């Protein structure tokens, strides 16, 4: 039997953090079809409608196919030699006049581990600064901080297979059937086979219909909810005292703290009925094996990192860690948001989160790269924007991130970009951020590159090219190594595999990693020198001094914003099934026909009070800014709250988001924004809700 495809390449999906393995089928030099790889460990032969069908963006007519440089207020095409010469000239002048710390870079969480490692090396070794960060700053940096504080390592304690082995799963601040559809489908299937679900979210997510208890807590009250659960677990004698005594420190202080969080007190804070809180605590603690899954609904808060530490507390007091079916599973947003941080694309750490302040660690990289580096951390993303406005940061190199659309307080971000003397953007499309660029470099999509992604379960998986970058566009690996060479630092890599070899050489916990060993099914770090990986963390001890986990003593604190007479509703932002992040890829595919625009979800009571019906256009005003969009009246959202996504640049959702951010990591508080909603007019037709379009799972 003949096939219409000239080549089929097995690769890893470049959308969310699930890490589905895909078969990319090529004809006429282009990827024309995608099907699921049947041996994919995360997806097990399934994909979502993005992974399987939303690949047309790679051959979109508006792909960047040649470098562009700013001239006379606009852009013109340029050769690679001219574009890179402009970068080296501008960076050289800024370094000479202001020093290397007047330059900053952003790595891409859509790019490979090898690309992100090369980007942080470019900034540290070729430019000479630790001013390097990535988009985990605005999503899961609180998760990384908390897991390292409580357990020692920055990653999920198990794998998605633990979902099927669990008796109970607590889902808090996460909507998997929308943001991580294949995991959402696995949870749904497990629930149909007996998995008991507890969902906690201001919206009634789809999986609440498959669960036993839904806790509709008010935005910003996750910590109070978790402290209330811990109160009931301790009060009713449901703790595992043997585990606590043998493997943890600090329990007694937590026991004292949670006395103030009786169910009735927690109900007053969260709005969750005391009886439901007690039922949920018993369901979780009485299970022999229980998992916790969370997402940006936990992390993107003023005290998001503290809430994650309280999740760790709950797992520790019930011994639900380090065993099959008892995993903590943060669902990462972008495809390589785990890996971009693992690879050292952060201002304060090298690979494996080893601090730049550690002289021995920094010295080892100095010796390997032949450079000298500071021992002080660089700027985080918010600090970069502030420094640009203040005139201290003169240039940025932004790789694969559309910060003018995705980052909070859009007006502040655009002012920062306008304030720069020089901006380089490396991407596959023009976007809101490239409008401010001086040089635009045409890069490669995940369908056109070699390397690895690390998914939300710490699994490194191979990425292989199904096609070539269009026109004179280049792979990100080639661009970054070429720019570094032009800046005077020769990295010495011939292929991305060489980069992974250096990562393994320089990082003890990744010592056994190589492209050859990763193979078709991947490896979950840590990976020993002999190639043995670690599907379950902390089976015997934690990665902290003495091998013992740390309980966190953290009381509930109010969120950074709250409703009042002028702004009586709370806006929560999130994602839709059909689209992904800034929408730069999915809006160039057939998915735009499934969901062509954004709407504001509002409860019928709140709509009636304002005389609103489906399709009416409203002005949504916060303390920061104002946007307009049609409404969708739905009971999915609780009274007093509204919801919308940020996939459509014409909506400019992040104009509404302020400067409030997690106290430990500077992750923005996207999830608690006080707004006023006022009618403007009537739209011709409101877009259909995401959950009314396509099923979350496509089999094939």
Does the CA dihedral 419-422-426-431 come out positive or negative? Answer: positive
State residue 580's pLDDT score: 72
Provide, rounded to the nearest whole percent, the portion of the chain with pLDDT above 90: 82
Q: Which residues pair with 140 in a beta bridge?
A: none
Q: pLDDT tens digits, residue range 482-491?
A: 999 999 999 9
d(CA 462, CA 10): 8
Q: Tell me the pLDDT band of 284, cut-offs 50, 70 and 90.
A: very high
State residue 693's pLDDT score: 31
Enter the DSSP assignment of 5. -
Q: pLDDT tens digits, residue range 396-431?
A: 999 999 999 888 888 999 999 999 999 999 999 999
Helix, strand or coil, per DSSP, at residue 382: helix
Our measurement of the distance from residue 279's CA atom to the centroid of its chain's CA atoms, rounded to an integer in Å, reads: 31
CA dihedral defined by 430, 435, 440, 443, rounded to 10 degrees?
-30
Backbone angles phi, psi at 593, to 5 degrees: -75, -25
Tell me: pLDDT of 699 over 70. Answer: no
Q: Tell me the pLDDT band of 694, cut-offs 50, 70 and 90.
A: very low
Q: pLDDT tens digits, residue range 239-260?
A: 999 999 999 999 999 999 999 9
Tell me: pLDDT of 581 over 80. Answer: no
Provide, rounded to the nearest whole percent, the portion of the chain with pLDDT above 70: 96
State residue 441's pLDDT score: 98
State residue 649's pLDDT score: 77
d(CA 666, CA 305): 10
d(CA 24, CA 448): 11
Q: pLDDT tens digits, residue range 181-196?
A: 999 999 999 999 999 9
Q: Which residues pair with 106 in a beta bridge?
A: 133, 398
Q: Tell me the pLDDT band of 129, cut-offs 50, 70 and 90.
A: very high
Least confident of 154-158, 202-206, 682-686: 682-686
Q: pLDDT tens digits, residue range 626-641?
A: 999 999 999 989 899 9
Our measurement of the distance from residue 97's CA atom to the centroid of its chain's CA atoms, rounded to an integer in Å, reads: 36
E strand or H helix at 442, and its extent?
A: strand 439-442
State residue 3's pLDDT score: 62
Q: Tell me the pLDDT band of 225, cut-offs 50, 70 and 90.
A: very high
Taking the model in full, what pTM does it have? 0.93
Q: pLDDT tens digits, residue range 134-188?
A: 988 877 889 999 999 999 999 999 999 999 999 999 999 999 999 999 999 999 9
Q: Which residues pair with 423 in a beta bridge?
A: 396
As a whole number, the mean pLDDT across the chain is: 93
Q: Tell me the pLDDT band of 579, cut-offs 50, 70 and 90.
A: confident
Q: Tell me the pLDDT band of 687, cut-offs 50, 70 and 90.
A: very low
Q: Which residues pair with 292 in a beta bridge?
A: 170, 328
Enumerate the H helices of 376-511 as residue ranges. 381-390, 403-406, 410-419, 476-486, 496-506
Q: Are 57 and 50 in contact (CB under 8 A)?
A: no
State residue 215's pLDDT score: 98
Q: Which residues pair with 397 in a beta bridge?
A: 105, 424
CA dihedral defined by 522, 525, 528, 531, rounded to 10 degrees?
0
State residue 135's pLDDT score: 84
Tell me: pLDDT of 582 over 90. Answer: no
Q: Which residue has the tokens 């910060």?
A: 403
Does the CA dihedral 581-586-592-594 come out positive or negative? Answer: negative
- Average pLDDT value for residue range 69-85: 96
Q: pLDDT tens digits, residue range 471-519?
A: 999 999 999 999 999 999 999 999 999 999 999 999 999 999 999 999 9
State residue 688's pLDDT score: 40
Q: pLDDT tens digits, residue range 327-341?
A: 999 998 888 999 999
State residue 686's pLDDT score: 39
Q: Tell me the pLDDT band of 2, cut-offs 50, 70 and 90.
A: low
Q: Are 653 and 627 in contact (CB under 8 A)?
A: yes
Domains of the chain listed by start with CATH number: 7-59 (2.20.25.90), 68-138+337-447+472-509 (3.40.50.740), 141-330 (3.40.228.10), 569-699 (2.40.40.20)
């Amino acid at each position: 039997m003949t096939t219409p495809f000239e080549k089929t390449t097995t690769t890893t999906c470049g959308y969310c953090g699930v890490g589905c393995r895909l078969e990319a089928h090529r004809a006429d030099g282009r990827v024309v079809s995608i099907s699921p790889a049947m041996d994919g460990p995360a997806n097990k032969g399934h994909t979502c409608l993005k992974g399987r069908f939303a690949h047309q963006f790679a051959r979109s007519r508006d792909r960047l196919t040649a470098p562009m440089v700013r001239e006379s207020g606009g852009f013109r095409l340029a050769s690679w030699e001219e574009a890179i010469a402009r970068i080296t000239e501008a960076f050289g002048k800024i370094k000479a006049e202001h020093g290397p710390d007047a330059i900053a870079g952003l790595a891409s969480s859509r790019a490979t581990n090898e690309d992100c490692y090369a980007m942080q090396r470019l900034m540290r070794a070729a430019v000479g600064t630790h001013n390097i960060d990535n988009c985990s700053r605005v999503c899961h940096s609180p998760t990384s901080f908390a897991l390292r504080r409580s357990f020692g390592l920055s990653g999920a304690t198990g794998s998605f297979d633990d979902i099927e082995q669990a008796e109970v799963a607590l889902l808090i601040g996460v909507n998997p059937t929308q943001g991580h559809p294949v995991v959402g489908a696995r949870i749904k299937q497990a629930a149909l086979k007996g998995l008991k679900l507890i969902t906690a979210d201001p919206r009634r997510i789809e999986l609440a219909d498959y669960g036993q208890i839904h806790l509709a807590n008010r935005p910003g009250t996750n910590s109070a909810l978790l402290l209330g659960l811990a109160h009931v677990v301790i009060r009713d004698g449901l703790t595992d005292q043997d585990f606590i005594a043998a493997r943890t420190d600090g329990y007694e202080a937590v026991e004292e703290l949670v006395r103030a969080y009786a169910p009735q007190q927690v109900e007053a804070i969260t709005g969750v009925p005391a009886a439901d809180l007690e039922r949920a605590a018993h369901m979780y603690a009485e299970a022999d094996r229980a998992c916790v899954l969370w997402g940006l609904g936990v992390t993107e808060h003023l005290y998001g990192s503290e809430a994650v530490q309280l999740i760790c507390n709950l797992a520790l007091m019930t011994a639900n860690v380090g065993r099959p079916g008892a995993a903590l599973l943060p669902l990462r947003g972008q495809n390589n948001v785990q890996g971009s941080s693992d690879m050292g694309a952060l201002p304060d750490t090298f690979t494996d989160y080893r601090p730049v302040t550690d002289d021995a660690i920094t010295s080892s990289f100095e010796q390997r790269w032949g450079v000298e580096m500071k021992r002080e951390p660089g700027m985080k993303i918010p600090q970069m924007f502030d420094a640009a406005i203040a005139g201290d940061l003169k240039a940025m190199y932004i790789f694969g991130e559309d910060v003018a659309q995705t980052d909070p307080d859009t007006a502040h971000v655009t002012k920062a970009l306008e304030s720069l003397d020089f901006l380089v953007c490396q991407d596959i499309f023009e976007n809101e951020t490239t409008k401010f660029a001086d040089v635009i470099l045409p890069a490669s999509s995940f369908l056109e590159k070699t390397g690895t992604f690390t998914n939300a379960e710490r699994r490194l998986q191979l990425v292989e090219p199904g096609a070539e970058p269009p026109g004179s566009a280049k792979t990100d690996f080639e661009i970054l190594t070429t720019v570094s060479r032009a800046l005077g630092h020769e990295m010495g890599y011939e292929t991305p595999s060489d980069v992974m070899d250096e990562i393994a050489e320089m990082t003890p916990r990744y010592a056994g990693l190589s492209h050859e060993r990763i193979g078709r099914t991947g490896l979950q770090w840590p990976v020993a020198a002999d190639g043995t990986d670690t599907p379950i963390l902390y089976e015997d001890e934690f990665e902290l001094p003495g091998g013992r986990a740390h309980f966190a003593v953290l009381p509930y604190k109010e969120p950074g914003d709250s409703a009042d007479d002028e702004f009586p509703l709370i806006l929560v932002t999130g994602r839709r099934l059909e689209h992904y992040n800034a929408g730069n890829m999915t809006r160039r595919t057939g998915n735009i026909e499934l969901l062509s625009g954004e709407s504001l979800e509002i409860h019928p009571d709140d709509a009636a009070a304002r005389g609103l019906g489906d399709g009416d256009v409203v002005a949504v005003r916060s303390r920061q800014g104002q946007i307009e969009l049609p409404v969708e009246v739905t009971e999915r959202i609780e009274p007093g709250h509204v919801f919308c996504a940020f996939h459509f640049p014409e909506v400019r959702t992040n104009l509404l988001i302020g400067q409030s951010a997690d106290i430990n990591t500077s992750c923005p508080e996207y999830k608690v924004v006080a707004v006023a909603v006022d009618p403007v007019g009537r739209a011709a037709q409101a877009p259909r809700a995401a959950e009314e379009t396509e099923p979350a799972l496509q089999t094939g």
